[in-house]
Amino acid sequence: MKVIFSELAKLELDDACSFYDLQVPGLGSKFKDEVGKAARRIAEFPTAWSIERGEIRKGLLHMFPYKLLYSIEKNHVFIIAVAHQHRRPTYWQRR
């Protein structure tokens, strides 16, 4: 199944990559790779992940404290947010 990131999710991904690169050069690339792996797992098994709220599911990253919040659409998976697991837990619900 195809994965589509919302524009806001893309911005969150870019911001997190920049933050991690400031902490340790190259860590932002590792973060982006982990997001890609999680997105591929979600695409392959979209209903395997737990429900966060309503129809929105969450796929957790393995090496970083982030989750991908997504909905399953007819022909694709729509990533709503690339969210830190411990900061402002419900901010994405306004989307």
Band of pLDDT at residue 94, cut at 50, 70 and 90: low
Sole residue written with tokens 């830190």:
84
Read off the pLDDT of residues 68-93 as tens digits, 9 standing for 90 and up. Answer: 999 999 999 999 999 998 876 555 55
pLDDT digits (tens, 9 = 90+) for 11-36: 999 999 999 999 999 999 999 999 99
**Nearest-10 crossing angle of helices 27-44, 7-23:** 140
pLDDT value, residue 85? 87
Q: What is the pLDDT of residues 45-58, one digit of tens each?
A: 999 999 999 999 99
90, amino acid identity: T
Q: What is the pTM of this model?
A: 0.88
Let me know if 70 is exposed, middle or buried by CB neighbors in 10 A (0-12, 13-18, 19+): buried
Domain annotation for the chain: domains and CATH numbers: 2-88 (3.30.2310.20)
